[in-house]
A and B are shown apart, each in its own frame.
Chain A
Amino acid sequence: MLEKAFFIPFYPLLAFLVIVFFTRWKEKLSSGISIAMVLLGFLHSLAVLIAMLGRDGRPLELAYTFIDHPSIKLELGMWIDGLTAVMLMVVTIVSSCVQIYSLGYMKDDPRWSRYYSYLSLFTFSMLGLVIANNFFMIFIFWELVGLTSYLLIGFWFEKKSASDAGKKAFITTRIGDLGFIVGLMILVAYAGTLNYQEVFAKVTSGAIPANIIALAGVFVFCGAVGKSAQFPLHVWLPDAMEGPTPVSALIHAATMVAAGVYLVARAMTLFAGSASAAMVIAVIGMITSFIAATIALTQNDIKRVLAYSTCSQLGYMIMALGLYGVDLAHDPHTHSVGYYAGTFHLMTHAFFKALLFLGAGSVIHAVHTNDINDMGGLSKKMKITTTTFFIASLSIAGIFPLSGFWSKDEIIAATVHHPFFMTVTLLIAFMTAFYMFRLCFMTFTGEPRDKHRFEHAHESPKSMTGPLIALAFLSVFAGWVGLPWLKHGFSWFVYHGEHQVHHPNYILMVVSTVVALSGIGLAYLVYYKKAISADAIAERFKPLYKLSFNKWYFDEIYDAVIIKPVLGFTRVLWWFDANIIDGAVNGSGWLTVKWSDLKMWFDKYIIDGAVNGLGYICQAGSWALKFIQSGSVQFYALFMLGSAVGFVIYRVTPDGFYYYLAGVVILALARLLSRISRTNRLKTEPDIEG
């Protein structure tokens, strides 16, 4: 089964194709196929995991040529190691749960089949991303998950906010991908390959200059920044909550947004090739985590709180991985647990965050609102949802012995050599516990704030609670694979470089538990006991409160600094194109026409004028001469006679000819005059002969 692991993505792809082309009209069948295929993928993934456990996590690679060029060979293939096997499990489990959950949640949606086809397409893309053996292939699926994310966020596209959010998500992540592409180009140019292992070999062998490695690392990381909603590209993730809640659980909490973390983990050798690049990663992760946590403190939309929490947790993981990279760059034999911590938290987070979202979905399903101010007291009506939600919240807060505890503990452990990071990490852990329980208390406990909604609330159907229970189970126990006392635990299976053994740090465990409990305690006091007024705190720290409540004004700043100017610039360019460039073209045409008009005038009046003038002169001359042809034969005869006589005279005496000529002219004039007078007379007299 291991060698055939590349089948795993194809199961959901098959489901997608079948639904789109054949069973689109049969809704139940479509969802059935989709769920069956993802379950098949899950079973196969399980087999792969077992097989991998059997071979001690020894990796396996298979590749097919995509394009072969002398400068670059692009391939499609699979790389299976411990991380891949775990990710396959995570994706298929969460996807299965979400798809089953959707049976209840999406009930009566008119685009049911389409929904399931998208989910299948997403699962395919995500599995392809996980299984890829090279940067090119991961990029392909990277984009495909972006597409499905776009489609699913905008699934209820009649809502403008939904289609806006989809667009925003796609474009924002694409800005990150832009860096990713540049990073890939640098890798191709300097490493000549995109295969993970070949690139890593070149990086570690020192075949690539260090600054180039840093550059490539930072650019490739841009992709992760976009996809995992890291600062400064985190703005799309909260908006992405416009999609159906199960989609948020699957894509925007558990899997796709984790792809950035996965990429950082996968390409760790590259990032660790340069301490500065790794430091950039760690700092970005920390900033994101901090900003998102502060924003989550004050949000009132249940899904948005979870979204910012996701951002924050992803920042956590990325920070841990970055710190590992820093440590590794300084010391090749480092004992830093960052890599293990990041990947471990990636897995546990997927489960409890999916659970949180699905629980939130269950709540929304019951009360038809996202606003926690309109909830309250729901624990009375929704036992299962409440229980599972609290389990997940405890897990994310890091309470012993839930899975979140173990992974979060490792993240804190990863920061032991970086005191500043450690401080911030603990602060974030505190905030996390606080806002999660603020959410829990406001939603499930106390008096219902909206009676009408409360009365209509009801526990969700079994198709929805089933996945909740399954995920709650995982939220509790999945972390146990990484118990620090286990010899062959998670760190032994998923590792970077060499197998790592690490030791439990009891002090840190206590510290982190105390921090988490104090966060929960504060939330308890404020929102359950109401011993401290939340409004009073908000009033006290008004500027900070407003900053947090308005999400640090990122959207407004981006809108003012980037979006508006770009759109304005497009209009300027369009004007430029239509008026300047095209104006030049049309202007030259206009000039040509005018020039030809001038030419035509010249032609008409000067050149043609000369020709016509000559014709006119001829005409005028002939007009004068035509009177010789009088029609009187006798005159012709006289003319002939006169000419003949003149000729003779000329021959005899040329001088005499002129006298002759003069005589003839005088006679002719006299004749003409008499002729004219006679004509006049004739006109006045009546015709004698007629």
Chain B
Amino acid sequence: MLQYLALAAILFAIGVFGVLTRRNAIGILMSLELMFNAVNINLVTFNKYVGGDVLAGQIFSLFVIVIAAAEAVVGLAIVLLLYRNWRGIDVDRINVMKW
């Protein structure tokens, strides 16, 4: 079982790294998806540890998948708008909300 958790941890770490380091907004969104999936794996795995017959973990991961899809849609829409307004999607350039 541990290997599942390890996989999830690695996956999450890759996602975090991607979110923190990618300059491309699409890349950040994709890294976010990785993090979601790491969470899903975790949810399913922990369900195996505690649940028995209860499938709460699986059900949650289904929710997460749906939300993630919606999130990706919203995120991409924002990215699209960013692109239209800024002629690019490099997040470093979009730092207008500072002091």
Please encode chain B, from 81 to 99, with 1 for each CB lying within 8 Å of some chain A CB and 0 for all others: 0000001101111011111
- Min Cβ gap A150→B in Å is 94
Asked if B87 and A689 sit within 8 Å, CB to CB, the answer is yes
Distance in angstroms between the alpha carbons of A399 and B47 in the assembled complex: 166
Nearest Cβ in chain B — how far from A643, in angstroms?
Answer: 14
Interface residues of A in 455-488 (CB under 8 A from B): none
- Are the C-beta atoms of B96 and A631 separated by less than 8 Å? yes
- Contact of A631 with B98 in the complex, beta carbons under 8 Å: yes
Q: How many residues of A contact B (CB 8 A)?
A: 13
A631 near B16: Cβ-Cβ < 8 Å: no
Q: Which residue of B lies closest to A627 (CB)?
A: B99
The residue that A632 contacts in the complex, of B16, B19, B87, B91, with Cβ under 8 A, is B91
> B9: shortest Cβ distance to chain A, in Å?
14
Task: Tell whether A637 is near chain B: CB-to-CB under 8 Å.
Answer: yes
* Distance in angstroms between the alpha carbons of A67 and B87 in the assembled complex: 112
Docked-complex contact A637 and B95, CB < 8 angstroms: no
Q: Which of B19, B21, B90, B95 contacts A631 (CB 8 A)?
A: B95
Cβ-defined contact, A626 with B20, below 8 A: no
Name which residue of chain B comes closest to A626, CB basis.
Answer: B99
Given contacts A626-B99, A641-B16, A641-B20, contact A633 B88 (CB under 8 A): no
Residues of B within 8 A of A633 (CB): 91
Q: Is the CB of B99 within 8 A of A689?
A: no
Known: A637-B20, A641-B16, A641-B20. A630 touches B95 (CB 8 A): yes
- Taking a contact as CB atoms closer than 8 A, the residue among A627, A631, A634 that contacts B20 in the complex is A634
Which B residues lie within 8 Å of A690 (CB)? 87
A638 close to B (CB within 8 Å): yes
Residues of B close to A627: CB separation below 8 A: 99
Residues of A within 8 A of B91 (CB): 632-634
Rounded to whole angstroms, the CA-CA distance of A627 and B95 in the bound complex is 12
Interface set, chain A 592-650, CB cutoff 8 A to B: 626-627, 629-634, 637-638, 641
Residue of B nearest to A630 (CB): B98
Q: Which residues of B contact A629 (CB under 8 A)?
A: 98-99
Question: Which residue in B16, B90, B96 is a CB contact (below 8 Å) of A689?
Answer: B90
A634 surroundings in chain B (CB, below 8 A): 19-21, 28, 91
Minimum C-beta distance from A409 to chain B (A): 128
Residues from chain B with Cβ under 8 Å of A689 in the complex = 87-88, 90, 93
CB distance from B64 to the nearest CB of A (A): 19
B85 to chain A, nearest CB (A): 13
Return the contact of A638 from the options B20, B97, B99 (Cβ within 8 A).
Answer: B20
Size class of the contact patch on chain B: 10 to 19
Contacts of A638 in B (CB 8 A): 20
Question: How far in angstroms is the closest Cβ of chain A from B29?
Answer: 13
Cα A690 to Cα B86 in complex, Å, equals: 9
- Cβ contacts under 8 Å, B99 to chain A: 626-627, 629, 631
Shortest B17–chain A CB gap in Å is 10
Min CB distance, A496 to chain B, in Å?
A: 118
A637 to B95, CA, bound (A): 14
B16: A residues at CB distance < 8 A: 641
Q: How far is the CB of A519 from chain B (nearest CB, A)?
A: 125
B79 to chain A, nearest CB (A): 13
Minimum C-beta distance from A168 to chain B (A): 94
Q: Among residues 1 to 46 in chain B, which have CB atoms less than 8 Å away from a CB atom of chain A? A: 16, 19-21, 28
In the bound assembly, the distance between CA atoms of A650 and B16 in angstroms comes to: 21
A629 to B98, CA, bound (A): 5
CB distance from A228 to the nearest CB of B (A): 106
A623's nearest neighbour on chain B, judged by CB, is B99
In the assembled complex, the Cα of A669 lies from the Cα of B99 at a distance in Å of: 20
Chain A residues near B19 (CB-CB < 8 A): 634, 637
The one of A626, A631, A637, A641 that contacts B97, using a Cβ cutoff of 8 Å: A631
Q: Bound complex: CA of A632 vs CA of B16, how far in Å?
A: 16
Q: How far is the CA of A634 from the CA of B20 in the complex (A)?
A: 5
CB-CB under 8 A from B21, the residues of chain A are 634
> Which B residues touch A641, using CB under 8 A?
16, 20
Q: Are B88 and A632 in contact (CB under 8 A)?
A: no
Q: Which residues of chain B are within 8 angstroms of A631 by Cβ–Cβ distance?
A: 95-99
CB of A603, distance to nearest CB on chain B (Å): 35
A632 touches B20 (CB 8 A): no
Taken residue by residue from 53 to 70, chain B's Cβ proximity to chain A (1 for < 8 Å, 0 otherwise) reads as: 000000000000000000
The CA-CA distance from A634 to B94 in the complex, in Å, is 11
| Nearest residue, chain A, Cβ from B95 | A631
**Residues of A close to B88: CB separation below 8 A:** 689
- The minimal Cβ–Cβ distance linking B21 to chain A, given in whole angstroms, is 8
Which residue of B has the minimal Cβ distance to A638? B20
Taking the closest CB of chain A, its distance from the CB of B71, in whole angstroms, is 15
Interface residues of A in 672-690 (CB under 8 A from B): 689-690
Chain B residues near A630 (CB, 8 Å)? 95, 98
A627 to B19, CA, bound (A): 22
Shortest CB distance B56–A (Å): 25
What are 20 of the A-B contact pairs (CB < 8 Å)? A626-B99, A627-B99, A630-B95, A631-B95, A631-B96, A631-B97, A631-B98, A631-B99, A632-B92, A632-B95, A632-B98, A634-B20, A634-B21, A634-B28, A637-B19, A641-B16, A641-B20, A689-B87, A689-B88, A689-B93
Further contacts, 17 of them, CB under 8 A, given A629-B98, A637-B19, A641-B20: A626-B99, A627-B99, A630-B95, A630-B98, A631-B96, A631-B99, A632-B91, A633-B91, A634-B19, A634-B20, A637-B20, A638-B20, A641-B16, A689-B87, A689-B90, A689-B93, A690-B87
